[in-house]
A = this chain, B = another copy of it.
Amino acid sequence: MQTTGLQTSMKKLINTPESVVHDALEGVAAAHADLVRVHFDPDYIVRIDAPVKGKVGLVSGGGSGHEPMHGGFVGRGMLDAACPGAVFTSPVPNQMLEATQAVDGGAGVLHIVKNYTGDIMNFEMAAELAAADGVEVASVVINDDVAVQDSLYTAGRRGVGTTVLAEKICGGAADAGLPLAEVKRVCEKVNSLGRSMGMALTSCTVPAKGSPTFDLGPDEIEVGIGIHGEPGRQRLPLKPAREIVEMLATPVLDDLPFQRGDQVLAFVNGMGGTPLIELYIVYKELAAILAGRGVSIARRLVGSYITSLEMAGTSITLLKLDDELTRLWDMPVHTPALRWGV
């Protein structure tokens, strides 16, 4: 059964499944013309003042459907450009190549890449093409998801919430005037000290497919879910938030491991369909667990920053902070989705 081109079981505020990404990019262009410019065909979002002379350029990207990541993080103190692919699909090398050229201010460009096979391959190709064009490019792969080793679309660990923190902190590093090798070092440090895990209460529906990516019973949750609905560790009956947060926080804490006396940035993320009132309940439970382990929350972020369309659920990211990372996190940022100090 269809109505005006939109399928039953896919209740979304969209025009057509084919135009979702383009329409949303036009919305971003209209809303944030003071901060970013949207280039179409190939699609990328770039700082209005790019390239910034003498500053290392930062480029990220990935499939759409995770908004505000990455396009919402373009602006002063964070990314110089973001390349949006189709929903849950890697952008193509030409997008990354043109974005890299557009943000090269003579100090080179860092690619921040989430660990998905398609993204890795396409960013590598773009880096080679940019290098052939005379742009110095370095890359860091984010692989912070402790849920599973290898996954649909991924060899090794998936890249998730730590990506948001890496983009902010590296943006600070680039603004502070650090050279490419140093910004890359900072990015690798963030990845090495960040760990995440997520869960879903509901699936999401990719517009082009029109039906849910996976099926969860009315009483079931999936713990360790990927941001494209990739399978996690286990399916369980719905549990109280306290138990769910424990199931996410324990493997995150034990993996690094985070230890008594550590200072962390605690990031409670919504998957897209989960309201803020629930994220604060998650934060409460996380804070209690960390207090019990003697881990101090020095910085925090609560909100839906790396989403999976309208999926209901949450993910937890912990980043072990040192003075350098704290200072770079605190630097001014002015993007559509994150802003402070300016």
Contacts and interface: CB of A to CB of B under 8 A. Distances in A.
Interface stretch (A27-35, A105-113, A149-157): A27-35
Interface stretch (A179-187, A188-196, A224-232, A307-315): A307-315
A229 to B, nearest CB: 14
Contact of A16 (B25, B240, B276, B339): B240
A276 B68 CA distance: 7
A310 B272 contact: no
A168 to B, nearest CB: 14
B276 A273 contact: no
A314 B14 CA distance: 12
Given A4-B240, A219-B1, A27 B275 contact: no
A237 B14 CA distance: 14
A36 to B, nearest CB: 12
Contacts of A260: none
A287 B27 CA distance: 8
Interface string A1-32: 10111101101111110001001111110110
Interface string A240-274: 11111000000000000000000000000000111
A211 to B, nearest CB: 12
Given A20-B281, A23-B281, A26-B284, A274 B238 contact: no
Given A3-B219, A31-B302, A307-B275, A281 B202 contact: no
Given A11-B202, A14-B240, 20 more contacts: A4-B239, A13-B281, A13-B314, A14-B278, A15-B281, A16-B240, A23-B241, A24-B278, A24-B280, A24-B281, A26-B284, A27-B282, A27-B287, A30-B283, A67-B280, A68-B276, A272-B275, A274-B310, A304-B304, A340-B342
